[in-house]
Chain A
Amino acid sequence: MQMTEENLRGLFGRMTGDEKHGWAAASTLHAIWVLYERVLNVSPSNIDDPGRDRFYLSKGHGPMAYYAVLAAKGFIEPETLDTWRQWGSPLGMHPDRNLAPGVEISSGSLGHGLPLGVGTALGLRAQGRDARVVVLMGDGEFDEGSNHETMAIAGRLGLGSLTAVVIDNKTASLGWPGGIAGRFEQEGWAATTVDGRDHDALEKALTGETDGRPRAVIAEILPIEEGSTA
């Protein structure tokens, strides 16, 4: 089935029961969709292949967009979305890799995805594989000290197979003067800031050539104006 964004909106609505407001609030959806649709080599047919690309959803709260994309891509039956958060469902408010098909890490508490991603990228490097590891996090999550430890490690090790996607909807309590991209650059990453709803811009930032440095894509999601069609 060729999944369109219209279908995706329907899948999303199966969980939220609200295709308009929930959809607009899904700050992660665009980046996850672009990753699974245009960037990553991962699908239900190669999910057990150790050489597959990895997507780690570090920002595990509000995973409806993630589940919708996984359903759209055939990892999860669409009917399963109707059960989310219920007893016996594989889909919770935070994803569990041991329950949900296609989910690569169990997440929910902040600050674990990036170091898990670095470990996996280093493991794949030790195995001589060139698979990519993409970690999606939020700007509030970026506050966590573990991320800053990890940013330094990945920069120093020149971990070119690693990408951090930071959804920046300006929710970090004390903010990041000068922006998040500058922090990554200071630690030796190649950082790009794009409009987090612009699929082509996201794709370009996620696939452009790098010089071996780990890559950070800051996907800015600004509040939607009244009457917007987004």
Chain B
Amino acid sequence: MTAQVTRKQMRTVFAETVIESLATDPRVVMLTADISSWFFWEVKKDFPDRVHNFGIREQAMIDIAGGFALAGQRPVVHTYAPFLVERPFEQIKIGLGHQDVGAVLVSVGASYDDPSWGRTHQAPGDVALLDTLPGWTVHVPGHEDEVAPLLSKAIAGDNRVYVRLSERANSEAVPVSEKFTVLRRGKAGVVLAVGPVLDQVLAATATADVTVLYASTIRPFDHAGLREAVAAAAPNVVLVEPYLRGTSAFEVTEALGDVPHRLRSFGTWRDREARVYGTPEEHDRLFGVDAESLADSIARFVG
């Protein structure tokens, strides 16, 4: 397992990428609310006016990002997922969206990276929440090597981008693409794996006759890619997302509006809180997104 020892956290790659962009792009400003602020202590000495830690003030931070964008800067805004998206949600809607300015929001913590912290530090609804607002690009990298290319492109642009980092990662990276990547082809159905659930999806479908698609960019949703895959297999679609179950179900329905199909969605619960601590793997089993549960569910669905 020496490879794992040398692997970087997604969060580390994020910090390295932003630090590099601060030196090369004068538009870039980095805003934190204490979380991960230590990554930027050194670079703040070089760019005191472009690196800010505002303390634990997330509502102000998001609107301040909007203000930076109004002045022509490119804000990168970071904190733990629930405090980045859920707490200041109206600031995201008004301070960024309604002003029609952009920012790159980068979260950590995902849905249940460390469930021992409990519900307060879980944000399984973040992508679904952003789905209520127009114009957001959403990246869900599944491996640390996917972070830099996705983030660099996001920073170089002008639009509203959410990058959902996780402390969990697949064993291997998939080259990033705006389109869904076909990892396997089969006839009985199409399984879409989003970000860091790919390992268990590949394990679950190792002997199944299904097409496996992978997405590290889930908004915009690759309608054409899904249609293409469904055209070459039975129209049985399985969605495996590392956040609220069925978050992308409406996109699947849109993509396949004229194609009779069946859809089964996997992810975290919608109807109740998982009021338990423990490990991420234990929560995978609870939600039925561990390899064994998925293998069973998918086999029954496409079989």
Contacts and interface: CB of A to CB of B under 8 A. Distances in A.
A111 B90 CA distance: 10
A219 to B, nearest CB: 22
B49 interface: yes
A121 B67 contact: yes
B91 interface: yes
B60 A149 contact: yes
A124 interface: yes
Contacts of A150: 57, 60, 63-64
Please indicate which of the listed interface residues B62, B72, B95 has the most CB atoms of chain A within 10 Å of its own CB. B95
A96 B98 CA distance: 8
B68 interface: yes
Contact of A122 (B49, B55, B59, B99): B49
Q: How large is the interface on A (under 10, 10 to 19, 20 to 34, 35 or more residues)?
A: 20 to 34
B167 to A, nearest CB: 28
Contacts of A50: 71-72
Contacts of A117: 67
A125 B71 CA distance: 10
Nearest to A117: B67
B63 A115 contact: yes
Contacts of B60: 115, 118, 146, 149-150, 153
B302 interface: no
A153 B67 contact: no
A109 B73 CA distance: 24
Interface in B55-105: 55, 57, 59-73, 75, 90-91, 94-95, 98-100
A112 B91 contact: yes
A149 B88 CA distance: 12
What is the predominant secondary structure among interface residues of chain A facing chain B? Answer: helix
Contacts of B95: 112, 115-116
A145 B94 CA distance: 16
A17 interface: no
A98 B91 contact: no
Interface string A71-106: 000000000000000000000000011100000111
A26 interface: no
A116 B72 contact: no
B71 A119 contact: yes
B54 interface: yes
B64 A126 contact: no
A181 interface: no
Nearest to A50: B72
A146 B29 CA distance: 21
Contacts of B64: 115-116, 118-119, 122, 150, 153
B139 interface: no
B196 to A, nearest CB: 32
A127 interface: yes
Interface in A121-174: 121-127, 145-146, 149-150, 152-153, 157
A120 interface: yes
B65 A119 contact: yes
Given A116-B99, A146-B91, A123 B57 contact: no
A57 to B, nearest CB: 13
A132 to B, nearest CB: 13
B52 interface: yes
Contacts of A149: 54, 57, 59-60
Contact of B70 (A116, A126, A127, A145): A116
Please indicate which of the listed interface residues B62, B75, B99 has the most CB atoms of chain A within 10 Å of its own CB. B99
A215 to B, nearest CB: 17
A97 B57 CA distance: 26
Contacts of B121: none
Contacts of B164: none
B219 interface: no
Given A98-B100, A153-B57, A112 B70 contact: no
B50 interface: yes
Contacts of B99: 97, 105-106, 116
A54 B71 CA distance: 10
A122 B72 contact: no
Nearest to B66: A116
Nearest to B59: A146
Nearest to B100: A98
Contacts of A96: 98
Given A115-B60, A123-B69, A146-B63, 11 more contacts: A50-B71, A106-B94, A117-B67, A119-B65, A119-B69, A122-B68, A123-B68, A126-B29, A127-B71, A150-B64, A153-B60
**A-B pairs with lowest CB-CB distance, top 4:** A119-B67, A123-B71, A115-B63, A149-B60
17 contacts: A54-B70, A112-B94, A114-B63, A115-B63, A115-B67, A115-B91, A115-B95, A116-B64, A119-B71, A120-B67, A122-B71, A126-B49, A146-B59, A146-B60, A150-B60, A153-B54, A153-B64
